Structure 1
Amino acid sequence: MKVRETVPTPDNSTNFNQMPDSALVVGTTLDNLKSAIQGETGASAKYAAYAKAAKEQGYDQIARLFEATSAAEQIHINLEYGLVAEEEPDFVKPTAEAPEAHQSDLNLIDGAKGEIFETSDMYPAFIKVAQEEGKTKAVQVFTRAKLAESVHAERYLAAYNDLDAADDDAFYLCPVCGYIHKGDDFEKCPICFAPKASFRQF
């Protein structure tokens, strides 16, 4: 993902459209925040299980990618939970059971499919409702998650294509928005402009 002159937003970007004929159930922003937390919780648990499977199958770099993405989903959960807690202080975060993991190539495709759904369907719909309701904090949180998820899908597909030609590159996780960079050739996050020094290495 290239760094732009300004932080990307729904107002200065053209890749925030929702897939046509979507079957997604959309509610109020509060409902959507809770739904996002549920989805991200499941994704985080799934990627943790996929990381373990990748290690067992001898794919160290893919294991690190899944670990980074699991941690990225926790960032999204915490941001979304913070907004829910402002309206419902007693809201309890959901939990999720780790699903059965398969071969790493299939796990990568499964992960990419989930991330593509979030970036092309779920979050664009949630952003639109938040804009209509004037929920500017939610717009920002959803926007950062949407953009990060598209990069997660890209990382998964690249790892799938290079499954038998891995390199030693590390992955770097932005602690603000959950963006993941591969390799150390960057200066700041292209989504939220957090500096490289703040990133967590996997």
Structure 2
Amino acid sequence: MTMKVRDAIPTPDNSTNFSIASDSKTVVGSTLDNLKAAIAGETGASAKYTAFAKAAKEQGYDQIARLFEATAAAEQIHIGLEYGLVSQIDPDYEKPSADAPAAEASDLNLISGACGEIYETSDMYPAFIKKAQEEGETKAVQVFTRAKLAESVHAERYLDAYNNLDAADDDTFYLCPICGYIHKGEDFEKCPICFAPKDKFTAF
């Protein structure tokens, strides 16, 4: 499945998939607090996916290893966007580090990844977006929105890989350097989230 390109860049104002999970697990603070919490979460995710990529390679799943590598890099893009806003307000803020969890079999790692991405896209980021809107933090709204939309695609990529674990293809993954969206295969012209052109993407 591929995310469709709309006539306008998706935002919370022109989209209806920004609802917050009714049993939300997210602790919401100020937008600055939320940016720092997002950085911590993305840092953990990037470390986890890097470990999962190594395990997939060792287990003979080259394409899944490339998917995890692309997603780890996508989370670094989100970290960079969020850190850019935090550092403007809190110049002394230092990025956190994270220890990678022990990797398991690749099918379980894919489910772990999908669950984390679904939480971020359906709970954490919608909650942070709502708070940023309330505080008039338009730059944070944009950063959180791009991450939220990319995370849902990451979850979709993981579930597709899980469902086709024993029927893999050789498709390349393409990472948008602006928002962290990941496309599978050659059939696209631009990012459906931020409209960056295909020639700006990084291949994995």
User: Taking structure 2 as the reference length, what is the TM-score of the superposition?
Assistant: 0.99
Is residue 196 of structure 2 the alignment partner of residue 172 of structure 1?
no
The residue type equivalent to 1:108 in the other structure is L
Separation of aligned partners in 2, 1:155 and 1:25 = 27
**Where has structure 1 moved over 2 Å in runs of 4 or more?**
none
1:161 is aligned, of 155, 160, 163, to 163
Cα-Cα RMSD: 0.4
Shift of 1:22: 1.3
Separation of aligned partners in 2, 1:150 and 1:111 = 11
| CA deviations over 1:45-79 (Å, ceiling 9, x no partner) | 00000000000000000000000000000000000
Gaps of 5+ in 2: none
Shift of 1:182: 0.0
Contact 2:12/2:145, CA 8 A, preserved across alignment? yes
1:21 is aligned, of 15, 20, 23, to 23
The residue type equivalent to 2:64 in the other structure is I
Match of 1:61 in 2: 63
Match of 1:193 in 2: 195
Separation of aligned partners in 2, 1:14 and 1:190 = 16
5 Å-filtered alignment, 1:107-122, equals: 107-122=109-124
Shift of 1:162: 0.1
Match of 2:34 in 1: 32
Shift of 1:163: 0.1
Separation of aligned partners in 1, 2:89 and 2:146 = 21
Separation of aligned partners in 1, 2:172 and 2:53 = 15
SS of equivalent residue, structure 1 residue 82: helix
| CA deviations over 1:18-60 (Å, ceiling 9, x no partner) | 0002131100000000000000000000000000000000000
SS of equivalent residue, structure 1 residue 18: coil
The residue type equivalent to 1:111 in the other structure is G
Identical columns (%): 80
Match of 1:8 in 2: 10
SS of equivalent residue, structure 1 residue 129: helix
SS of equivalent residue, structure 2 residue 155: helix
Separation of aligned partners in 2, 1:145 and 1:24 = 16
Separation of aligned partners in 2, 1:23 and 1:175 = 29
Gaps of 5+ in 1: none
Contact 2:43/2:76, CA 8 A, preserved across alignment? yes
Match of 1:126 in 2: 128
Separation of aligned partners in 2, 1:52 and 1:100 = 11
SS of equivalent residue, structure 2 residue 174: strand
The residue type equivalent to 1:160 in the other structure is Y
Is residue 128 of structure 2 the alignment partner of residue 102 of structure 1?
no
The residue type equivalent to 1:132 in the other structure is E
